[in-house]
Amino acid sequence: MGLPVLSAIFRSRVVCQRSFVALLNCPKHMKASVSLFSRSAGRCSQTCQALVYRKHGEPSGVVELEDAPVHQTGAKEVLVKLLASPINPSDINMIQGTYSILPDLPAIGGNEGVAQVIEVGSQVKSLKAGDWVIPRDAGLGTWRTEAVLAEDDVISVPNDIPLLSAATLGVNPCTAIRMLSDFEDLKPGDSVIQNAANSGVGQAVIQIAAARGINTINVIRDRPDFTQLSDRLKAIGASHVIKEESLRRPEMKELFQTYSKPKLALNGVGGKSATELLRHLQVGGSMVTYGGMSKQPVTVPVSALIFKNVKVRGFWVTQWKKDHFHDGKAFRAMLDELCSLIQQGKLTAPACTEVRIQDYKKALDAAMQPFSSHKQILI
């Protein structure tokens, strides 16, 4: 599917963003006469608080906390209260204008989070008041306190799992489980090597792999708190943690006397780091790229292609969700598996810092810092 089609689908899903854009741009005297919020549940507010950006740029300079309209709940819509929403790299890229798909401006930030259903429209069948829901796809604008969303744009999750696990469920764990499931037939005792192991995806990979009996060799950049971070990753199931520089050293041969050569490499960095991951793959293995934090291209050695027949693939969870949007069973099954791991205590949220939405500037600044090991969560 080409990017123009992707963009069209993306924009067609963002019903509330379109309503927001239209209402925010209309004259003030017209806004007062528009019924923006259903009052049948005893609620009388016509606006919510939202983090809005009207142009692309650095988040700290273009994002503002504003009162945004909330339209009346339609027959096939639900009124939700947003409980928690993370700040992800893709959110930052959208605001900067560098992401593959972009909403119309002005826009509300945020693509992930968990909300509680407050009210359902007369024709809503799959949800009821009190349910917890997460977005099915990107672009709903989750950095706000309330929203009216189409029933089909959200999917329910158990409300007995930890709040932060629910808020961070829809992107990183989904990316991790798909990459561990869809590219190589991994069995207990097999190995996976990954860079960016301390990222949200990396931490989910570690835990899901551990639950399946799969070893993980986890690569992180050197830093002052390397030992503490390494210990934390091992505590959630990492088999082995190494520095980027170690990928080029003889000690890797010793490591593979303990662990089998990896069938799968997961690349969230690009550049030299990705090239070094490729060198350690077993013959016929796969490297899957899901991010490029170094902003450097992936260079594939000719020898890896000719003599090891490695496969070089890419993965984008947004595309997976679009491909399976009308196959509700696939998405439901994935979420059920992830939620079961959460309920068993085998999958926890990444290290998080909770920040009130009113303190968003602090959260945005923290999310932009290098070596950050905590995900910023707007409450």
Q: At 144, which CATH number?
A: 3.90.180.10
The per-residue pLDDT for 371 is: 62
Both tokens assigned to 309: 């027949």
Instruction: With CA atoms as reference, report the closest residue to 198 among 344, 371, 18, 2.
Output: 371
- Distance between CA atoms of residues 16 and 139, nearest Å: 9
Active site residues: 99
For residue 333, being part of any structural domain is answered with: no
Same domain (yes/no): 196, 91 = no
Same domain (yes/no): 151, 240 = no
- Distance between CA atoms of residues 38 and 105, nearest Å: 25
Strand partners, 84: 114
Is residue 73 within 8 A of residue 121, CB to CB? The reply is yes
Question: Which portions of the chain are predicted below pLDDT 70?
Answer: 1-45, 371-373
- Distance between CA atoms of residues 282 and 260, nearest Å: 9
The per-residue pLDDT for 56 is: 96
Q: What's the burial of 283, exposed, middle or buried (CB within 10 Å: 0-12/13-18/19+)?
A: exposed
Same domain (yes/no): 281, 216 = yes
The per-residue pLDDT for 325 is: 80
Strand partners, 312: 287
Number of domains present in the structure of the chain? 2
Sign of the CA dihedral with 165 first, then 168, 174, and 180 last: negative
Same domain (yes/no): 302, 237 = yes
Residues 6 or more apart whose Cβ sits within 8 Å of residue 36:
23, 46, 47, 69, 70, 71, 72
Q: Strand order of the sheet with strand 191-194? A: 240-243, 215-220, 191-194, 264-267, 286-289, 311-314
Same domain (yes/no): 198, 131 = no
> What CATH number is attached to the domain comprising 224?
3.40.50.720
For residue 129, being part of any structural domain is answered with: yes
| DSSP one-letter string for 251-272 | HHHHHHHHSPPPSEEEESSBHH
For residue 35, being part of any structural domain is answered with: no
Instruction: With CA atoms as reference, report the closest residue to 221 among 193, 198, 251.
Output: 198
What range defines the domain where residue 57 resides?
Answer: 47-170+349-367
The per-residue pLDDT for 349 is: 94
Q: What's the burial of 105, exposed, middle or buried (CB within 10 Å: 0-12/13-18/19+)?
A: middle
